[in-house]
Amino acid sequence: MKKVVLLLIVLSLLLYGCQQVEVPCDTDEECIPEEPLVGVKYICVKNVCMTRPLGNPATEFCLDKGYITESRIQVDGGQYSLCKFPDGNECEEWMYFRDECSPGRVTVKIDNLRFMPEELNVKTGTTVTWENFEDKPHQIINEQVGDYSKADLFDSERIEQGGEFSYTFDEKGEYKYSCLIHPNMKGKIIVS
């Protein structure tokens, strides 16, 4: 009997402790308690303090800056997420988190024999920079896709580790590209 009573007391304390008290606020900072919990984000929503579990730090960073995220599936079935900016450009969210790209500065990372992101949406006039993060050389060339006017637009020549190549997309369209050295590496830039 003592165990049952003790269990009921513990349960009532737990239930009472889990009740959320509505705390008024104007900013997220006002919601952070003196002893914040690890893995919890404190936010002000409609002038009331709320909590939500923290997720992927790169996703949180993108959302905290006021942008939106979008997940995409890779050719091999894997998944990656992009941070989408108001100017219509996108950036792989971990690259944005590490300040390797930003609104107005679009970067494609070459690593693990793949382009990251494999597909990218940009606005006309955007310069895209490919950076080689691995110890293998790469050579980026655009592929001919039906429209012969988009053939032979760019050829990076050999990019060694730490090197980069940039190209400005001045016309709308879909630009498929690959690595001349590693033909299985493919990507696409969609310019609107």
Burial degree of 115 (CB within 10 A; 0-12, 13-18, 19+) = buried
Q: Taking residues 155-184, what's their average pLDDT?
A: 92
DSSP 8-state class, residue 102: B
| CB neighbour list of residue 99: distance below 8 Å, 6 or more residues apart | none
Q: In this predicted structure, what is the pLDDT of residue 60?
A: 84
Q: Over the stretch 73-93, which tens digit does the pLDDT of each residue have?
A: 877 788 888 898 887 888 888
pTM summary value: 0.63
Helix (H, G, I), strand (E, B) or coil at 99: coil
**Among the listed ranges 22-31, 36-45, 154-163, 180-189, which one has the minimum average pLDDT value?**
36-45
Q: In this predicted structure, what is the pLDDT of residue 21?
A: 65
The C-alpha atoms of residue 186 and residue 168 are separated, in whole angstroms, by: 19
Domains, the chain: 21-54 (no CATH), 57-191 (2.60.40.420)
Q: Residues 189, 177: contact at Cβ < 8 Å?
A: yes
Does 3 score more than 60 pLDDT? no
